């Protein structure tokens, strides 16, 4: 089940967790990371949709089923999220973001504090600098860049229960999902993360409650890289998940869900 | 910065999908011999049933031991996941039943394992699924054989028993141009010799009974999805792209961009047809996969030695192995199968049917039985066993003659195997 909207002149698509979208319920918006789509949130979004919330797990512009070019900056993506809220008739929502999506969520909450009631940053860091070699590879050699990111995103060669469930090879799922995105999307996403400089200023402006969910074995956005963010956020709670790398939704879906359940009223 | 290296094939063969057991510390994969799993509470139960949480409910749908095997073969084949089934035949049936229904058509290679041919040419027709067969080497036949109701193209990586090497990229291109997936039976090659997804195939099935297990003690099948096929764009698979009333109205393609096929296959075909793999079988197959590359290298080395011996023997009319320049797919094999063309091949004995029978009955080390891919060397006469349902015309079309002998070369000392073959060949010519 999905919600299809027109945002900024392009068709936009959001998974609604297997239930029709209802803006009268508390709304949770899920923002995926670079070179991903809504499906990374399938378990968590489906759970919340069946537990009293209405969810929108979006495909960001140019990703998955959402049309248009990928947007070039975190700031532009943050404004796109507000345009999504407007189009869907949502006055305010809990916004959950992973990796690049966490920066979008953060910037969105800073720019539009009245629209973001709660903020969950999963696998986050600031600054989210991208190594020159990786950034170059995202532009010139996507398969190599995807291989690097896939290797760095996972903490082990086995995870239970996996995602979408037992019998799925989470690194294979992630690799193929990246390959399913359009050429050029990966570079746009990683360049946007790398160029984003407003993170600490944004943190200082956040008034909503904030949850950070971090993987203890994350080498892409290691927990230590959130130290300045946490210091700048007036109202943040941090949950570190044992045995999770960067791909927290895939590697530790239950632990992530528990953290979100304890945070989202 | 040195680019990171992904884990290699042997590392994945040993570790993919399994970590030491968190409860007991067991290093080997435990055999979770249980039918069902305790729910933490009612909400946990409902969430598991509704795919809001991942986990095990009932061992017909999934099991922790079986899941290790599924994840391991997916890692080795380069797919997104897999489903373990009761047999290789069950894997093929599960795939077709997921993609096709009454009124659908399957376009298949005519060089198939006899059991697969039975399923397609006889049994599935009873259920309204029609199959037509083409020469796997004839790309134009693949192209023109596609009908509006075709749902999948199916072939073997190495055709049985003629060892036709499939031009996977060529057939995949034809399938994809028609909005259809290409499924391959990769039993003879295993992911060590060939990874069909790298050439454009979309689904792979294995009889894990053969080289993957290697020991010939367990019957099992595996169905692996590349996750690359775009079911939505194809528009031919409402089972995957529209709500399914049989599972909470789920639209599997919306639910997972890359896993729709396996989600539907598990939540419908495995659930309802029930041809699941037992956890003990999964454990046995995992023991085999741990040494897959070591065994395949030895299988290939022995096979090459025996092919060389047979080629020089005066009682042998011809040897059919793709590494030989005389094989019609020699060039294709060189590019696609550089590590070897498997350990199953055929040869034609001088003296036809009678000489063949005498040869088989005189062998001492080779076992006369209906299997391949065992650690022990095996022999069979296809015309009287695996392909006995085919009439002479169909037999010829599948590349089989009355004196065709199929060998599956095991891991014994090559010299002992050659001695055995030599004495049996001598006896076969004294009729």
What are the structure tokens assigned to A43, written together? 């378990």
Chain A residues within an 8 Å CB radius of B64: 160, 166
Contact flag A18-B263 (C-beta cutoff 8 Å): no
Q: How far is A206 from chain B (nearest CA, A)?
A: 31
> Which CATH class name applies to B9-289?
alpha beta
> Which CATH class name applies to B293-428?
alpha beta
Cα distance between residue B118 and residue B112, in whole Å: 10
Q: How far is B123 from chain A (nearest CA, A)?
A: 29
B59 band by pLDDT with thresholds 50, 70 and 90: very high
Here the ipTM equals 0.97
Contact flag A173-B17 (C-beta cutoff 8 Å): no
B170 band by pLDDT with thresholds 50, 70 and 90: very high
pLDDT tens digit sequence for A121-152 = 999 999 999 999 999 999 999 999 999 999 99
When pLDDT is averaged across residues A103-126 and rounded to a whole number, the result is 98
- Domains B9-289 and B293-428 are alike in CATH topology: no
3-class DSSP state of A236: strand
Contact flag A152-B4 (C-beta cutoff 8 Å): yes
Residue A157: which of B16, B256, B263 has the nearest Cβ? B16
Q: Is the pLDDT at B3 greater than 70, yes or no?
A: no
Question: Which of A149-163, B246-260, B379-393 is the least confident region?
Answer: B379-393
Contact A43, A50 (CB under 8 A): no
Contact flag A172-B56 (C-beta cutoff 8 Å): no
When pLDDT is averaged across residues B290-301 and rounded to a whole number, the result is 98
pLDDT tens digit sequence for B379-418 = 998 777 777 777 768 777 767 787 899 999 999 999 999 9
pLDDT tens digit sequence for B7-31 = 999 999 999 999 999 899 999 999 9
Instruction: Show which residues on chain A lie within 8 Å of chain B, measured between beta carbons.
Output: 1-2, 15, 18, 37-39, 42-43, 46-47, 50, 64, 131, 133, 137, 144, 147-148, 150-152, 156-158, 160-169, 171-173, 176-177, 179-180, 253-254, 257
Contact B186, B225 (CB under 8 A): no
Domain ranges of chain B: 9-289, 293-428
Q: Is the pLDDT at A196 greater than 80, yes or no?
A: yes
Domain ranges of chain A: 2-261
> Which CATH class name applies to A2-261?
alpha beta
Preferred mutation among A14, A132, A166 to probe B, highest tally of B CBs within 10 A: A166
pLDDT tens digit sequence for B218-243 = 999 999 999 999 999 999 999 999 99
Q: Is the pLDDT at B277 greater than 60, yes or no?
A: yes
What is the 3-state secondary structure of A96-136?
Answer: EEECHHHHHHHHHHHHCCCCEEEEEEECCCCCCCCCHHHHH
Residue corresponding to tokens 């040419």: B121
pLDDT tens digit sequence for A50-62 = 999 999 999 999 9
Residue A176: which of B17, B46, B80 has the nearest Cβ? B80
Contact flag B257-A177 (C-beta cutoff 8 Å): yes
Q: Got the DSSP string for B396-415?
A: HHTT--TTEEEEE--SS-HH
pLDDT tens digit sequence for B343-382 = 999 999 998 888 988 999 999 999 999 889 999 999 998 7
Residue A39: which of B3, B47, B257 has the nearest Cβ? B257
**pLDDT value at residue A70:** 98
How many angstroms separate the Cα of A262 from the Cα of each of A116, B221, B264?
18, 42, 32
Cα distance between residue A59 and residue A64, in whole Å: 6
């Amino acid at each position: 089940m999905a919600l299809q909207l027109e945002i900024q002149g392009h068709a936009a698509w959001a998974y609604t967790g297997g239930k029709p979208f209802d803006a009268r319920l508390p709304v949770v918006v899920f923002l995926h990371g670079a070179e991903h789509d809504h499906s990374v949130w399938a378990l968590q979004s489906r759970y919340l949709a069946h537990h009293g919330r209405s969810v929108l797990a979006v495909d960001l512009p140019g990703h998955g089923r959402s049309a248009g070019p990928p947007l070039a900056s975190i700031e532009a993506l943050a404004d796109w999220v507000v345009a999504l809220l407007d189009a869907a008739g949502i006055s305010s929502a809990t916004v959950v973001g992973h990796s690049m999506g966490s920066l979008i969520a953060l910037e969105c909450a800073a720019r539009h504090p009245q629209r973001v009631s709660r903020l969950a940053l999963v696998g986050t860091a600031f600054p989210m600098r991208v190594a020159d070699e990786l950034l170059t590879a995202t532009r010139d050699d996507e398969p190599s860049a995807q291989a690097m990111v896939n290797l760095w995103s996972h903490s082990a060669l086995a995870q239970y229960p996996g995602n979408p469930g037992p019998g799925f090879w989470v690194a294979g799922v992630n690799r193929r999902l990246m390959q399913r995105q359009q050429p050029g999307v990966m570079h746009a996403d990683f360049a946007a993360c790398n160029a984003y400089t407003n993170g600490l200023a944004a943190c200082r402006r956040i008034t909503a409650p904030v949850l950070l969910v971090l993987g203890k074995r994350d080498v892409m956005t290691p927990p230590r890289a959130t130290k300045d963010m946490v210091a700048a956020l007036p109202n943040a709670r941090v949950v570190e998940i044992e045995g999770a790398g960067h791909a927290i939704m895939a590697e530790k879906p239950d632990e992530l869900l528990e953290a979100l359940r304890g945070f989202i009223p | 910065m040195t680019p990171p290296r992904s884990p290699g094939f042997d590392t994945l063969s040993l570790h993919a999908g399994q970590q030491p057991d968190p409860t007991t510390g067991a290093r080997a994969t435990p055999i979770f011999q249980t039918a069902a799993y305790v729910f933490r509470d009612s909400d946990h139960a409902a969430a598991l049933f509704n795919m809001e949480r991942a986990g095990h409910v009932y061992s017909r749908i999934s099991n922790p031991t079986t899941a290790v095997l599924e994840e391991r073969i997916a890692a080795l084949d380069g797919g997104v996941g897999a489903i373990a089934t009761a047999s290789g035949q069950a894997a093929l049936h599960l795939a077709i039943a997921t993609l096709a229904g009454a009124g659908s058509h399957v376009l298949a290679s005519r060089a198939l394992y006899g059991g697969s041919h039975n399923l397609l040419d006889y049994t599935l027709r009873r259920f309204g699924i029609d199959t037509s067969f083409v020469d796997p080497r004839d790309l134009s036949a693949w192209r023109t054989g596609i009908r509006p109701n075709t749902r999948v193209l199916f072939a073997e990586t190495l055709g049985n028993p003629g060892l036709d090497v499939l031009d996977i990229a060529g057939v995949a291109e034809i399938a994809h141009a028609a909005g259809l997936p290409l499924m391959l039976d990769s039993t003879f090659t295993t992911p060590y010799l060939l990874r069909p997804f790298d050439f454009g195939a979309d689904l792979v099935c294995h009889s894990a009974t053969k080289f993957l297990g290697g020991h010939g003690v367990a019957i099992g099948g595996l169905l692996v999805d590349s996750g690359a096929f775009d079911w939505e764009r194809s528009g031919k698979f409402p089972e995957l792209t529209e709500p399914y009333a049989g599972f909470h109205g789920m639209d599997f393609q919306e639910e997972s961009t890359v896993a729709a096929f396996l989600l539907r296959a598990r939540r419908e075909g495995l659930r309802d047809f029930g041809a699941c793999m037992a956890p003990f079988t999964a454990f046995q197959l995992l023991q085999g996969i741990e040494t897959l590359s070591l065994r395949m290298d030895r299988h290939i080395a022995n096979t090459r030695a025996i092919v060389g011996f047979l080629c020089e023997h005066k009682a042998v009319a011809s040897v059919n192995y793709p590494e030989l320049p005389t094989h019609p797919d020699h060039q294709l094999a060189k590019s696609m199968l550089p590590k070897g063309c498997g350990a199953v091949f055929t040869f034609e004995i001088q003296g036809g049917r009678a000489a063949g029978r005498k040869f088989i009955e005189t062998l001492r080390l080779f076992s006369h039985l209906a299997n391949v891919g065992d650690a022990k060397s095996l022999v069979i006469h296809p015309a009287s066993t695996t392909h006995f349902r085919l009439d002479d015309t169909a037999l010829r079309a599948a590349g089989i003659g009355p004196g065709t002998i199929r060998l599956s070369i095991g891991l014994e000392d090559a010299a002992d195997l050659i001695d055995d073959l030599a004495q049996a060949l001598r006896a076969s010519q004294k009729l």
